[in-house]
């Protein structure tokens, strides 16, 4: 017999969310320049802008907050946090930071080198920004099946292409490659997982040439769950054993605790290399705070210590990944084109397939973000022409990205499946009416193209 399961928690406290009228939302959209980042959160009904820092904490985490030791140096909370990180990641040295990008910054200072290559599956924006500032060359070597929104099934669309990696080493020489960074799960192409075999093989290849491997591990537990579900030989392996094996192949890991830490703020860097740790300590003191708090309050380290344990719970992960799949399945029922299989933290809708009448220069995925908010008060985010578009450094001609998607990010333990139904239904209705939409014109962008999506302004065409 097979039984249904539901959310592995019950709700003890609720937060009101406000419905608005379509007329109100049209006004808010004009005020926000048709940019979802510029909307007020209180004007949003279901907020799927990001899964970052938006988790609901458990009763255990809220009670841990009260144990926060706010001593400047050597507080009890640091030691509890450190022990929890070591238990899940298995690396000996831990430097807390105020959030993930601060760990990225420290990591980039250590591993990104002027004129040298940093290989990744798909580098996340914050590392890429750091690399660019340091004059390093960040290259994305995700496998071809993961590089675009084609709907061919592959269980691990976040994998690094070993042939591309080998070719670069052969072509440029190992002395010109400073690091390999594997982002688990791979955010930019749909929250797609990386297999254990790929992590192992990348690490073996890198080791052969003395190139260090780093894991950007914001969504490490979701990745571990996919390994358990999809990879031969891991079905009966406990999640923590999987996470420890994943990190056994890297020298250093960076973490944004705002995702799989199940907390609202925080980050860290953890490493097996003592010298790297010592550099991290120095950089933390200058930029973050003393070594044993690194920009975090003692109470936040307490909540994180608990969150890292909770996120490794198989029941939680099953619920989490299946909620994302549930939304994906509902959307498919309505014919909405999505990236498949669905990943760990959200559903990515294919903007080009949704609005085939629009050119990429008319921002189809952003148009869909606008339509979804206008019709249903649901806020998603564009990961396409605006967020990933760039400009030729010489001619200033726009360069359009391969990926053209709208990400519906699902916050952890926050929304129920009824909210997923509302989102799917709304997109289904918009899809029926899709040929009546025209695109957008970008009328305002800041000086730094890679950051323009935060502040951009659009007009309806
Ligand atoms: C997401 C975010 C948050 C975000 C950040 C920048 C632009 C837009 C949205 C943040 C990540 C991430 C990975 C893999 C490091 C960070 C930075 N993601 N690595 O997806 O996904 O962490 O936000 O704690 O500084 O919405 P941080």
Residue 125 pLDDT: 86
Nearest protein CA to atom 7 of ligand 1, as residue: 125
Residues contacting residue 428 through CB under 8 Å, at least 6 positions apart? 331, 333, 334, 335, 336
Q: How many other β-carbons are positioned within 10 Å of the β-carbon of residue 147?
A: 17
Closest CA to 388 of 99, 51, 145, 123: 123
**What distance in Å separates the CA atoms of residue 240 and residue 221, rounded to the nearest whole number?**
9
The CB of 100 under 6 Å from ligand 1? The reply is yes
**What distance in Å separates the CA atoms of residue 324 and residue 329, rounded to the nearest whole number?**
9
Contact 281, 105 (CB under 8 A): no
The CB of 258 under 6 Å from ligand 1? The reply is yes
The CB of 302 under 6 Å from ligand 1? The reply is no
DSSP bridge partners of 442: 458
Mutational pocket test of ligand 1: of 130, 187, 262, 288, the residue with most ligand atoms within 8 Å of the beta carbon: 187
Mutational pocket test of ligand 1: of 48, 124, 410, the residue with most ligand atoms within 8 Å of the beta carbon: 124
Measured between its terminal Cα atoms, the distance across the chain in Å is 55
The CB of 101 under 6 Å from ligand 1? The reply is yes
H/E element, 364: helix 364-376
Nearest protein CA to atom 9 of ligand 1, as residue: 50
Residue 160 has φ and ψ, to the nearest 5°, of: -85, 140
Q: Return the structure tokens found at 323.
A: 């909620």
Strand order in the sheet with 405-409: 346-350, 405-409, 381-383
Residue 87 pLDDT: 98
Nearest protein CA to atom 22 of ligand 1, as residue: 100
H/E element, 103: helix 100-111
Residue 149 pLDDT: 64
**What distance in Å separates the CA atoms of residue 202 and residue 179, rounded to the nearest whole number?**
11
Collect the ranges in the chain with pLDDT lower than 50.
none
The CB of 268 under 6 Å from ligand 1? The reply is no
> How many angstroms does the Cα of residue 1 sit away from the middle of ligand 1?
41
Q: Return the structure tokens found at 293.
A: 């708090």
Question: How far, in whole angstroms, is CA 368 from its chain's centroid?
Answer: 20
Nearest protein CA to atom 24 of ligand 1, as residue: 100
Nearest protein CA to atom 23 of ligand 1, as residue: 100
Please identify which residue in the block is written with the tokens 């199940």. 262
Q: Which atom of ligand 1 is nearest to the CA of 256?
A: 24
> How many angstroms does the Cα of residue 208 sit away from the middle of ligand 1?
31
Please identify which residue in the block is written with the tokens 């004059």. 135
Question: Three-state DSSP class for 285?
Answer: helix
> How many angstroms does the Cα of residue 409 sit away from the middle of ligand 1?
12
Residue 327 has φ and ψ, to the nearest 5°, of: -65, -45
Question: Three-state DSSP class for 365?
Answer: helix
Name the residues annotated as catalytic. Answer: 72, 124-125, 216, 218, 259, 453
Contact 154, 146 (CB under 8 A): yes
- Reported in sequence order, the residue ranges of 201-311 that DSSP labels E, i.e. its strands, are 213-216, 252-256, 267-271
Closest CA to 39 of 373, 438, 265: 373
Contact 130, 112 (CB under 8 A): yes
Closest CA to 415 of 324, 309, 312: 324
Residue 118 pLDDT: 97
User: DSSP labels for 416-460?
Assistant: -HHHHHHHHHHHHHHHHTGGG---EEEEE--S-GGGHHHH-EEEE
Contact 282, 241 (CB under 8 A): no
Residue 147 pLDDT: 82
The CB of 124 under 6 Å from ligand 1? The reply is yes
Q: Which atom of ligand 1 is nearest to the CA of 257?
A: 24
The CB of 256 under 6 Å from ligand 1? The reply is yes
Going by their DSSP bridges, the two strands 177-183 and 117-120 should be labelled as parallel
> Within 13 A of 395's CA, how many CA atoms are on the CB side?
4
The CB of 50 under 6 Å from ligand 1? The reply is yes
**What distance in Å separates the CA atoms of residue 260 and residue 307, rounded to the nearest whole number?**
8
**What distance in Å separates the CA atoms of residue 98 and residue 63, rounded to the nearest whole number?**
21
> How many angstroms does the Cα of residue 258 sit away from the middle of ligand 1?
8
The CB of 252 under 6 Å from ligand 1? The reply is no
> How many angstroms does the Cα of residue 410 sit away from the middle of ligand 1?
14
Mutational pocket test of ligand 1: of 185, 253, 259, 287, the residue with most ligand atoms within 8 Å of the beta carbon: 259
Closest CA to 220 of 253, 190, 173, 188: 253
How many helices (H) and strands (E) in the chain?
A: 17, 16
The CA angle 144-147-150, to the nearest 5 degrees, is 90
> How many angstroms does the Cα of residue 104 sit away from the middle of ligand 1?
10
Mutational pocket test of ligand 1: of 50, 99, 100, the residue with most ligand atoms within 8 Å of the beta carbon: 100
């Amino acid at each position: 017999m097979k039984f249904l399961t539901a959310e592995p928690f019950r709700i003890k406290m609720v937060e009101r969310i406000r419905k608005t009228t379509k007329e109100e939302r049209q006004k808010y959209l004009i005020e926000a320049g048709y940019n979802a980042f510029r909307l007020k959160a209180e004007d949003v009904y279901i907020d799927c802008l990001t899964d970052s820092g938006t988790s609901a904490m458990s009763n255990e985490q809220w009670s841990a907050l009260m144990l926060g030791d706010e001593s400047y140096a050597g507080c009890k909370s640091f030691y509890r946090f450190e022990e929890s990180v070591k238990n899940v990641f298995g690396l000996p040295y831990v430097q807390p930071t105020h959030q993930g990008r601060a760990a990225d910054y420290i990591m980039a200072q250590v591993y990104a080198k002027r004129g040298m290559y940093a290989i990744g599956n798909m580098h996340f924006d914050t590392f890429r920004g750091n690399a660019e500032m340091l004059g390093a060359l960040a290259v994305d070597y995700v496998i071809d099946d993961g590089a675009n929104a084609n709907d061919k099934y592959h269980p691990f669309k976040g994998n690094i292409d070993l042939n591309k990696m080998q070719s670069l080493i052969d072509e440029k020489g190992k002395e010109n490659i400073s690091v390999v960074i594997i982002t688990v799960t791979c955010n930019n192409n749909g929250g797609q997982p990386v297999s254990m075999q790929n992590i192992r093989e990348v690490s073996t290849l890198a080791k052969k040439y003395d190139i260090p491997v780093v894991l950007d591990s914001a969504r490490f537990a979701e990745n571990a769950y996919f390994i358990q579900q999809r990879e031969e030989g891991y079905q009966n392996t406990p999640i923590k054993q999987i996470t420890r094996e994943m990190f056994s192949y890297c020298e250093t890991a960076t973490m944004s605790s705002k995702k799989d830490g199940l907390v609202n703020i925080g980050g860290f860097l953890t490493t097996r290399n003592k010298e790297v740790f010592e550099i991290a300590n120095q950089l933390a003191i200058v930029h973050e705070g003393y070594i044993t708090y690194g920009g975090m309050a003692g109470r936040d380290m307490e909540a994180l210590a608990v969150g890292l344990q909770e996120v490794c719970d198989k029941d939680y992960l099953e619920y989490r990944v299946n909620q994302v799949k549930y939304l994906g399945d509902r959307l498919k029922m309505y014919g909405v084109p999505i990236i498949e299989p669905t990943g760990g933290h959200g559903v990515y809708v294919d903007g080009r397939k949704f609005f085939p009448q629009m050119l990429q220069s008319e921002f189809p995925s952003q148009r869909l973000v606008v339509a979804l908010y206008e019709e249903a008060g649901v806020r998603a985010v564009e990961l396409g022409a605006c967020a990933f578009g760039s400009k030729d450094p010489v001619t200033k001609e726009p360069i359009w990205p391969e990926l053209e998607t709208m990400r519906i990010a699902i916050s952890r333990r926050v929304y129920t499946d009824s909210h997923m139904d509302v989102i799917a239904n709304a997109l289904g209705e918009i899809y029926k009416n899709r040929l009546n939409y025209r695109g957008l014109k970008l009328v305002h962008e800041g000086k730094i193209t890679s950051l323009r999506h935060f502040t951009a302004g659009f007009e309806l065409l």
